[in-house]
Structure 1
Amino acid sequence: MSLADDMAREVLAAFDERRQIRSIVAEDQGLSLNQAYRVTAAVRRMREARGARVVGRKIGFTNTTIWDEYAVHAPIWGYVYDITLHRLTDCRGSFDLSGVVEPRIEPEIVFGLCRSPEPDMDERSLLSCIEWVAHGFEVVQSLFPGWRFTAADTVAAFGLHGALLIGPPTAVMPATIESWHEWLASFRITLSRDGIEADRGRAENVLGRGPLAALQHLVEVLARDPESPPLAPGEVITTGTLTRALPISAGETWSTRFEGLPLPGVEVVFA
C-alpha cells in the first residue's frame, strides 16, 4: 500500500469521525505539493468506491488578499462530489453544519462547463467553454485545529472542501460573451450575517483579474499534471472566495448582494 493511500485513509477517517488531526506535513516532512495531489487522487478512488461521483472541481486560495493570513501563497484545487453539491431553490436554502469541522463560508462564482477548456485559451475563449454562471457559497472546513496548516495539508485534506451551495444558473450566450468578460472582471459583492454586513469583496481579489483567471490557472495546472484528469464538459467549477473566509455557526443566516454582475445574491440558514 502506498504512502498516498495511507494518508488518504487517515484524512477520510478523520472526516468520517468529524475529528481533527495533526498537520500531515508535520508527520512527514518530505510531503511535497505534488505528493499531496497523489493523496487527492487516492481520496477520489476511495470515495468513488463508496459510491460518490465527481461532478467538478473547487479552486482554493485564489483570493490573494488572504494569502498571508493562511501562509498559503498560491491556488490549490480539489474535487467536488455529488454528495457535497447542493442546489438552492429560488436563491435560498438551509444547510446542516454537523457534518463539517470548524466551518467557514466563502462566497464564490461558479461556472458550468459545456466544453473542455484548453491551456492556451485566453479569458474570452474560456467563456465559450462556459454554459452558465452561478453564485454560491462554498462551506470550507479544516481537519487541522485552528486553521493552521501548510499548502500540502490543504491539498491532501480535500482542498478544505465541505460543501458547495449553488444558486440558480444564468446562461452564457455567444452574444453576451464580451459583456460577461467585463462583468466578471469588475463586480463587487457584499456578504452579510443576520442582515449585518460582514465583509465586502471584488472581482479582482481573485488572482488580480477575477474568476476567469482562476479557471485559466486551473486549466494550466492540470495540463502539467498527467496524473490528474483535465476538465470535462458538464463539470462544475467554483473559483474561490471573493471575501475573507469567515467562521459560521448554527443559527446564523448568511446572504450576499452583487453590484455590477447580473446574478442574484443568495441566502442560506445554517443549522
Structure 2
Amino acid sequence: MPIDAATALAAEPRSGRLAWTAKDVQLYHLGVGAGANPDKDSPATDPDELRYTLESRLHVLPSFATVAGAGSPGVIGGLSMPGVDVDLARVLHGGQSLTLYRPLPAEGEATATSRIAAVYDKGKAAVLVMRTEVADADGPLWTNDAQIFVRGEGGWGGDRGPSVRREPPAGEPDRVVERPVRQDQALLYRLSGDLNPLHADPEFAKLAGFERPILHGLCTYGITLKAVVDTLLGGDVARVRAYTTRFAGVVHPGETLRVRMWRGDGEIRVAVSAVERNEAPVLTDTVVTTHP
C-alpha cells in the first residue's frame, strides 16, 4: 500500500532551520492581494495597505507562517515522509489549522519540527495530518497542521478520524466583502515557496483532473484572513490567536471571492464562495480565534 500508516506515524520527526526577511513578508502579502486599492477610480495605494507593503510599517499577516522560510513542509513535505509514496496528481490540500503563540516578527530565524501526526481512512481517500511546530530563541512561535487529502488511497479499514464539520453560522453575516483574484495571482503567490505545477502548468492541471491551473488553497486562506483582519479586527494582526479552515472547492484565477463573516464570542466564523460560479463554496468550517 502506498501509504503505510504505522510507518508514517512511527517515523522520527524532521527538524530544519527556517529564515525569512521583510522582503519575503512583503512578497507574501502581495501574493494574497495586499496593495490593491478598492477604489478603482483612484490610482493611489490605500494608506492602510502600507502596513503590509512598506518595510518601515510592516505588520506580518499571521498566515505568513504557512510560507515562512520558503514554505513550511506542509503538503509537499508530508509526501516525502517515511511510509508515504503517492502520486502528486492525486493529492489535494484538504484543510489547514494554524495556532499562534505571539505575533510573527518581520525578520527571523527559527527551527521547524515536522511529523505525520495522524493518518485517517476516509474510504475512497486517505488523509494525512502533517504537523509542523516552529520555535525561535524566545520560544514557540506557531504550530501548523496541514490536512493532506490523497484520492484513491483509503479503504484499508483504518480510523476515519474526527468530524470537523460545524453547523453553518446562524443569521445574516455581520460583514460581507468581495475580493477579486488576479489572473496572475497563482504565479505571484507560488514565488513564496509552493511550486506545485498544479497552479501553473495547464498540462499538469489536466492530469490532476482540472480544466486549467487553480489557485493555491493557502493563497485563498491568506486572502480570507486579510479580509477578516482589515474589516473586523481594525487591521490588528496581533489579535489573531488561531485560524482554521476546510478547503471545500477550487478557485480559478480571475474569479471573485465573496467573504461572509459572523462575529462570535472570541471567534469570527467565515464562509467563502466563488461569485461567478453561483456561490460555489470555497472555504467552509472556517474560524478565526481572536484575542480581545
TM-score relative to the length of structure 2: 0.30
Structure that is richer in helix per residue: 1
Structure that is richer in strand per residue: 2
Structure possessing the higher relative contact order (Cα contacts under 8 Å, 6 or more residues apart): 1
TM-score relative to the length of structure 1: 0.32
